[in-house]
Homo-oligomer: A and B are copies of this chain.
Amino acid sequence: MSIRFELVSKRFEDREALGDISFMVEPGEFVFVTGHSGAGKSTLLKLLALIERPTAGIIEVFGERLSKIPRRQLARYRRQLGLVFQDHRLLMDRSAFENVALPLRLDGYSEEAIARRVPTALAQVGLGGRERAFPAQLSTGEQQRLGIARAVVAAPKLLLADEPTGNLDPQLAVEIMELFVSLKSQGTTVVVASHDLPLIQKIRRRTIVLERGRQIDDFRPEDAHA
């Protein structure tokens, strides 16, 4: 089991962002989380990344209870993840190359491995040849793709992508989703939060639907790819 949610709730003071969410995700599975603005999609991903802690319920990732992970182990846990943030979170004073290289450096990859993997990841998101550009020199869509390259470069066990195509046109969005789907071959589990219904309809994968923090649907299109 990659992910297990059991009656998970998250309250912010007076607002219930998530209520009684339960689901499971198999290793290598691809899941969309969708819903209107404010439905709780980002909150769900933040719980998985240990950016927020649930008010109630149990979350397990790769068999590990998240509530049991001590502060000192946070970094180790997070290095298993690939994160695409809704606001990109690039390091503005490092080049595109260095941004993508970062997870590899934190893992202690050799310089040769870095020099080989980073350009590949940049090319996969259509930023081949922009290695030396700084984030401020990229358009918002390009920044978003840079964030995606950084999230996939270290072959994470779990990829959490929050609205990864919000700044991309429909054609690019499909290309990025195809990249995510292809990660299955290396065993990566993928969770994508998105409000882009046309895209979701096109990709046809398992989709969890939230409304005001409640899980109102969890469907797998009949002809969904495995």
Q: Does A26 contact B (CB under 8 A)?
A: no
Closest CB in chain B relative to A72 CB, distance in Å: 26
Closest CB in chain B relative to A44 CB, distance in Å: 11
Closest CB in chain B relative to A12 CB, distance in Å: 6
Contacting residues, chain B, for A168 (C-beta < 8 A): 37, 195
For A88, the closest partner residue in chain B by CB is: B87
For A138, the closest partner residue in chain B by CB is: B38
Give the complex CA separation of A139 and B144 in angstroms. 18
Copies of this protein, total: 2
Q: How large is the interface on A (under 10, 10 to 19, 20 to 34, 35 or more residues)?
A: 20 to 34
Contacting residues, chain B, for A142 (C-beta < 8 A): 37-38
| Contact status A169-B42, CB under 8 Å | no
| Contact status A171-B86, CB under 8 Å | no
Give the complex CA separation of A220 and B43 in angstroms. 41
Give the complex CA separation of A114 and B86 in angstroms. 32
Give the complex CA separation of A162 and B42 in angstroms. 22
Closest CB in chain B relative to A43 CB, distance in Å: 8
Q: Does A166 contact B (CB under 8 A)?
A: yes
Give the complex CA separation of A140 and B170 in angstroms. 20
| Contact status B198-A170, CB under 8 Å | yes
**Residue in A12, A145, A167, A170 whose Cβ sees the most chain B Cβ within 10 Å:** A167
Closest CB in chain B relative to A10 CB, distance in Å: 13
| Contact status A87-B38, CB under 8 Å | no
Q: Does A172 contact B (CB under 8 A)?
A: yes
- In chain A, positions 167-197 with a C-beta closer than 8 Å to chain B are 167-172, 195-197
Contacting residues, chain B, for A27 (C-beta < 8 A): none
| Contact status B37-A86, CB under 8 Å | no
| Contact status A37-B170, CB under 8 Å | no
| Contact status B167-A36, CB under 8 Å | no
Q: Does A141 contact B (CB under 8 A)?
A: yes
List 4 other contacts, CB 8 Å, given A36-B169, A42-B139. A36-B172, A87-B140, A140-B162, A169-B197
6 A-B pairs, CB-CB below 8 angstroms?
Answer: A37-B139, A37-B172, A39-B139, A43-B139, A169-B196, A170-B195
